[in-house]
Amino acid sequence: MQAFDLFAILPELVLLVVTCVLLVASVYVRERQPAVAGVEQDIFHTPRGVGFVYFFTIILLAYLAIAFASRIGDVSLVAMNGLFQSDPFSNLLKACSCGAVLVSLIYSKQYLMDRGMFRPDFIVLSLLALLGQLVLVSGSNLLTLYLGLELMALPTYALVAMRHNSEKSVEAAIKYFILGALASGFLLYGMSMLYGVTGSLDLIEIFKTVADPRVNHLVMAFGLVFIVAGLAFKLGVVPFHMWVPDVYQGAPTAVTLMIAAAPKIAAFGLLFRLLVNTLLPLLGDWQPMLVLLSILSLVVGNITAIAQTNIKRMLAYSAIAQMGFVMLGMLSVFDDHAFSASTYYVITYVLTTLGSFGLLMLLSRKGYDCETLDGLKGLNKKHPWFAFIGLVMMFSLAGIPPTVGFAAKLSVLEALVDAQHTFIAIIAVIASLIGAFYYLRVVKVMYFDEPLHETTISGSTFAKGLLSLNCILVLVLGIFPGGLMAICLDAMRRTLLGS
């Protein structure tokens, strides 16, 4: 290993080491805060050292986010004998992932404390999942990609099952685990076919060999189908979306946020690594598949969401539809603007998701989970500012200016029209028109209805302030979208030219 390699993987190493240290240290550090009353006092529930772990995790994540953000401008590096690459694209996504986990943890703290789940293992599992995401985004070898994928997925299964006395959580966890394993199997099968045809696991080697006329195109195409199916599972697009609503609804909201935010970025990173970095010569094969998947997602996601009364389930179907939009961005022509629309979309989508679930968690309190539309009724009467935050998030998801969701939809639609897919763009806008209905219904419930019962805002001032900042960011990025767009474009352009 060279010093050069060490630099490339330094943040990941720091994350791994600190996570292990925290895991061990948490056993020995005595918790100063008294245990929350009413929470079972046994070996699983006594919070031990959690304040300590939480504190250092926040610092660690802030450091990682800044470290990756400062690397966006750097040149691409390939380390560990071609197993790992650090390029502008991966650094951008990794900075966003770390930021998303950081914000998720801050939003979740009070929610977890009220439910006796604010424990070192929750935080450590989140950090391990994050490590998986970072490895996944940076993988430059099929094995690294698979390793990252599993490292991301396994802690998440455990997180979903954390509320082990709730039937729904356990059901969601089993469903998630089985379908997730199936998806990994698909992906692995597809990778094995790629390996069989090209004789290499290295993404760059495969990229060079794929275009070779001697390669068996039929096996290649089969491998591609399995890979796309596996990716579709991970992203949660129709027809591989069945796990998404159940897991979103069944998991505790804090865990839902851990699944809904950062892993979307990583899944998009995987999509990019496999389809663009590796199989770009098969563009003509995978783009039609994505057309089908994304149109189905837009239609099914948006229409099914209308029937939901549980907000988490509704946001799950909304996520399915939004991922459809991300995939549509992948249909852009391969020029120097290629795929930046998708990157921009996924980053802004995660920003909005953080805000929406963060609001749901602040509205939950001890013994009450804000999950249904009824829970939001009349929010404007009691807490106008938080109702406003909800309004901004919903309009952003619906893509109404001046929120960031509009800028994101604009860039994807522009990419579509640019690629002569005007008809698909029309389908997409009609689907988002249908989608606008259920986002509007959430606003309606918050603003037009009378409150059913007392609504309180729990959570620290810090979490509230961060949520407000999140809302302002959604507005400001919507009014001045140029900066982030340019960053995505620049990162994408330098990554593609580098590879």
Partner 1 sequence: MILSFAIWIPIFFGLIILFYGSEHPSAGVRWLALIGSIIGFVATLPLILDFDIANAGMQFVENIAWIPRYDISYHLGVDGISVWFIVLTAFINIFVVIAAWEVIDKKVSQYMASFLILSGLMIGVFAALDALLFYVFFEATLIPMYIIIGVWGGHNRIYAAFKFFLYTLLGSLLTLIAMLYLYNSTNTFDILTWQKAPLDIVEQVLIFFAFFMAFAVKVPMWPLHTWLPDVHVEAPTGGSVVLAAIMLKLGAYGFLRFSLPIAPDASQYLGPFIIFLSLVAVIYVGTVALVQKDMKKLVAYSSVAHMGFVTLGFFLFSPLGVEGGIVQMISHGFVSGAMFLSIGVLYDRMHTRQIADYGGVVHKMPAFTAFAVLMAMANCGLPATSGFVGEFMVILAAVDYDFLIGILSATALILGAAYSLWMVKRVFFGAIHNKHVEELKDLNAREYFMMAVLTICVLGMGVYPKPFTDIIHPAVINLLQHVAVSKI
Complex with partner 1: residue 21 or 417, whichever CB lies closer: 417
Does residue number 401 form part of the binding site for partner 1 (CB under 8 A)? yes
**Residue 143 CB neighbour total at 10 angstroms:** 13
Among 137, 406, 408, 459, contact with partner 1 (rule: CB under 8 A): 406
Complex with partner 1: residue 282 or 427, whichever CB lies closer: 427
Cα–Cα distance for residue pair 119/101, rounded to 1 Å: 16
**CA torsion through residues 330, 332, 338, 341, sign:** negative
Is 224 within 8 Å of 137 (Cβ atoms)? no
- Given the rule CB under 8 A, which of 159-167, 232-240, 354-362, 408-416 is the region that contacts partner 1? 408-416
**CA terminus-to-terminus distance, the chain:** 22
The distance of closest approach from Cβ of residue 419 to partner 1 in the complex, given in angstroms and rounded to an integer, is 10
Residues 6+ apart with CB under 8 A from 494: 75, 76, 87, 88
Does residue number 404 form part of the binding site for partner 1 (CB under 8 A)? no
- Given the rule CB under 8 A, which of 49-57, 135-143, 194-202, 482-490 is the region that contacts partner 1? 482-490
Complex with partner 1: residue 255 or 389, whichever CB lies closer: 389
The distance of closest approach from Cβ of residue 458 to partner 1 in the complex, given in angstroms and rounded to an integer, is 20
Cα–Cα distance for residue pair 341/295, rounded to 1 Å: 17
Complex with partner 1: residue 289 or 392, whichever CB lies closer: 392
Does residue number 385 form part of the binding site for partner 1 (CB under 8 A)? yes
Q: Report residue 47 CA to chain centroid gap.
A: 28
The distance of closest approach from Cβ of residue 417 to partner 1 in the complex, given in angstroms and rounded to an integer, is 4
Cα–Cα distance for residue pair 277/273, rounded to 1 Å: 5
Does residue number 306 form part of the binding site for partner 1 (CB under 8 A)? no
Does residue number 475 form part of the binding site for partner 1 (CB under 8 A)? no
User: Which element (helix H / strand E) includes 84?
Assistant: strand 84-86
Site string for partner 1, 116-145 (x = CB under 8 A): ------------------------------
Does residue number 374 form part of the binding site for partner 1 (CB under 8 A)? no
Cα–Cα distance for residue pair 463/34, rounded to 1 Å: 21
Complex with partner 1: residue 73 or 483, whichever CB lies closer: 483
* Cα Rg, the chain, nearest whole Å: 22
- Given the rule CB under 8 A, which of 79-87, 173-181, 232-240, 405-413 is the region that contacts partner 1? 405-413
Does residue number 458 form part of the binding site for partner 1 (CB under 8 A)? no
Among 142, 275, 376, 489, contact with partner 1 (rule: CB under 8 A): 489
The distance of closest approach from Cβ of residue 380 to partner 1 in the complex, given in angstroms and rounded to an integer, is 8
Cα–Cα distance for residue pair 467/365, rounded to 1 Å: 17
Residues 420-439 that bind partner 1 (CB under 8 A): 422, 425-426, 429-430, 432-433, 436-437
Site string for partner 1, 264-303 (x = CB under 8 A): ----------------------------------------
**Residue 489 CB neighbour total at 10 angstroms:** 19
Does residue number 402 form part of the binding site for partner 1 (CB under 8 A)? yes
- Give residue for tokens 């990794």: 94
Among 380, 396, 455, 495, contact with partner 1 (rule: CB under 8 A): 380
User: Which element (helix H / strand E) includes 208?
Assistant: helix 203-210
Q: Which residues pair with 85 in a beta bridge?
A: 78
Is 48 within 8 Å of 29 (Cβ atoms)? yes
Residues 6+ apart with CB under 8 A from 25: 49, 52, 53
- Given the rule CB under 8 A, which of 85-93, 124-132, 321-329, 483-491 is the region that contacts partner 1? 483-491
Is 334 within 8 Å of 346 (Cβ atoms)? no
Write out the two tokens for 260. 């809904």
Cα–Cα distance for residue pair 139/85, rounded to 1 Å: 6
The distance of closest approach from Cβ of residue 10 to partner 1 in the complex, given in angstroms and rounded to an integer, is 32
Does residue number 451 form part of the binding site for partner 1 (CB under 8 A)? no
Among 161, 359, 443, 457, contact with partner 1 (rule: CB under 8 A): 443
Look up residue 128 and give its amino acid: L
Q: Report residue 302 CA to chain centroid gap.
A: 19
The distance of closest approach from Cβ of residue 398 to partner 1 in the complex, given in angstroms and rounded to an integer, is 9
- What's phi and psi for 353, nearest 5 deg? -60, -45
Which spans of this chain sit near partner 1 (rule: CB under 8 A)? 380, 384-385, 391, 395, 400-402, 406-407, 410-411, 413-414, 417-418, 422, 425-426, 429-430, 432-433, 436-437, 440, 443-444, 447-448, 480-482, 485-486, 489
